[in-house]
Amino acid sequence: MSKVKPTGPIPQGYDDKDGELLIGGEKASELVDQHGSPLFIYSKDQLDKRFAGLRNAMPEQLHIHYAMKANPFAPLLSHMVSLADGIDIASGGELEMAIKAGAKPNHISFAGPGKRGEELLQAIRTGVTINIESPTECDRVLKISDREDVQPRMAVRVNPDFDLKGSGMKMGGGAKPFGMDVELVCPTVDRIVNAGALWRGFHIFAGSQALKADAIIETQQQTIKLAARLADAIGKAPDHVNLGGGFGIPYFPGDEQLDAGQIGEALRAELANLPKILANTQFAIELGRYLVGEAGVYLTKVVDRKVSQSQTFLVTDGGLHHQLAASGNFGTVVRRNYPAAIASKYTTETQEVVSIVGCLCTPLDRLNDNVEMPKAEVGDIVAVFCAGAYGASASPANFLGQGPAKEILVD
């Protein structure tokens, strides 16, 4: 027998009814009967609660942006546009989606290395803020704007000379394709200002998926210091500083919820005691997974139950083509289990050890490995949690000709 492994922590706020998992007031089996399987369900109620909790924890004057690459599903995006102070995009495609979802151009900022000419043109014409990732990109924007006779809105994305400690994905501190090194910032801002473009400020993003408040607090303090140092060197105050994000969510056994209250308190103190040159600067944070990740559940039906060499497998009609991260991103060194449950037997005691796999013909297609679950039969429904971010749009839906899963937003 293989060793029993724990599942990841199930997010707070999910209730049950008649022994089943409830999402947005509906039972898992009803949702699947109505909408089919596999299915992504995002809960407005969960989105609202998360956003309100964060809003409450953060300083009043701080803007909270939604980084839409976490989840661009149109109904969810529209909802996030109604909640957030800004939308952060990273492609021309996302720009179109953000505008369609009702975001105002002056509330949109566009980051990302390798913006193509047509994307820059689209951004300039639409009037969104472009986060400039290199001096050459700066030149391209100025050239296109000149041709179009439009004053572009430009912020400079800085590759910080520090990183976010304990983050799952480092986006600063060292050689990076994102932003420009600190010593390039002043000449680039000078160039923007001298060309008559609108210089909006700085974008400084140091990393993602941190669960330690202390690490985020330290990074925010370093970010504010860096912004002040750069502004002093330029001799001009930035209207806007995007402090980045990095707020993580618990996915794996042992992970603990981030203490947003602690971050808010420290940031409140920081903003109350700013370096002089930043006294009138508007600060923002940009978050993806923290805002939407735990509000989504992926439901997939059991289509087969089989035993191989005394190990039981539940084979589902879903898999890594929809939930790549839960499978371990095409192989990780140590594969750990995402939070999962038998949604149709949510309150039943665990009865057996099973591996929950997808329907793809690859050994990598595992949703949960050697976990204790109630006994599930064909037709039962598996829930994989933390499916609200980097699920549907960040998985290879066309792998093996499977196609995408349906997505719905419920109250």
Ligand X SMILES: *Cc1c(COP(=O)(O)O)cnc(C)c1O
Q: Does 220 bind ligand X (CB under 6 A)?
A: no
Please, how many CA atoms are within 13 Å of residue 206, restricted to the half-sphere of its CB?
A: 24
* Least gap, CB of 208 to ligand X (angstroms): 3
Write the binding mask 70 to 99 for ligand X: x where contact by CB under 6 A, - elsewhere.
x-----------------x-----------
Neighbours of 398 (CB within 10 A): 10
Q: Which residues are within 8 A (CB) of 131 and not within 5 positions of it... i.e. 6 or more apart?
A: 109, 110, 111, 112, 155, 156, 157, 179, 203, 242
111 binds ligand X (CB under 6 A): yes
Residue nearest to ligand X according to CB distances in the complex: 288
Stretch that binds ligand X, among 64-72, 190-198, 258-266, 368-376 (CB under 6 A): 64-72
Binding region for ligand X (CB under 6 A) out of 63-71, 275-283, 316-324, 344-352: 63-71
CB closer to ligand X out of 208 and 337: 208
Q: Which residues contact 34 (CB under 8 A, 6 or more apart)?
A: none
Would you call 44 exposed, middle or buried from its count of C-beta atoms within 10 A (0-12, 13-18, 19+)? middle
Per CB under 6 A, the segment of 29-37, 203-211, 319-327, 356-364 that binds ligand X is 203-211
- In the bound state with ligand X, the residue whose beta carbon lies nearer, of 224 and 373, is 224
Q: Which of residues 22-61 bind ligand X (CB under 6 A)?
A: none
CB 219 within 8 A of CB 165: yes
223 near ligand X, judged by CB under 6 A: no
Number of residues that bind ligand X (CB under 6 A): 15
Taking the complex as a whole, the smallest distance from the CB of residue 212 to ligand X amounts, in Å, to 14
CB nearer to ligand X: pick between 32 and 89 = 89
- The correct pick among 43, 91, 159, 208 for binding ligand X (CB under 6 A) is 208
- String marking each residue 233-272 x if it binds ligand X according to CB under 6 A: ------------x---------------------------
User: Rounded distance, CA 197 to CA 193, Å?
Assistant: 6
Helix (H) / strand (E) element for 46: namely helix 44-57
Cα 150 to Cα 87, 114, 192, 337: the distances in Å are: 22, 22, 13, 51
What residues from 326 to 345 belong to the interface with ligand X (CB under 6 A)?
Answer: none
Given the rule CB under 6 A, which of 143-151, 212-220, 280-288, 297-305 is the region that contacts ligand X?
280-288
382 sits near ligand X (criterion: CB under 6 A): no
* Nearest-angstrom CA–CA distance, 209 and 252: 12
Q: How many other CB atoms sit within 10 Å of the CB of residue 382?
A: 28
Output b/e per residue, 163-201; b: 16+ Cβ within 10 A.
bbbbbeebbbbeebebbbebebbeebbebbeebebebbb
290 near ligand X, rule: CB under 6 A:
yes
Cα 204 to Cα 156: distance, rounded to the nearest angstrom: 9
Residue partners of 65: CB distance under 8 A and separation at least 6: 84, 85, 86, 87, 88, 109, 242, 284, 285, 286, 287
Under the binding rule (CB under 6 A), the answer on residue 205 touching ligand X is yes
Rounded to a whole number of angstroms, the CA Rg of the chain reads: 23
Question: According to the binding rule CB under 6 A, does residue 209 interact with ligand X?
Answer: yes
Contact stretch for ligand X (CB under 6 A) within 18-26, 192-200, 202-210, 270-278 = 202-210
287 contacts ligand X (rule: CB under 6 A)? yes
Which residues lie near ligand X (CB under 6 A)? Answer: 67, 69-70, 88, 111, 205, 208-209, 245, 286-290, 389
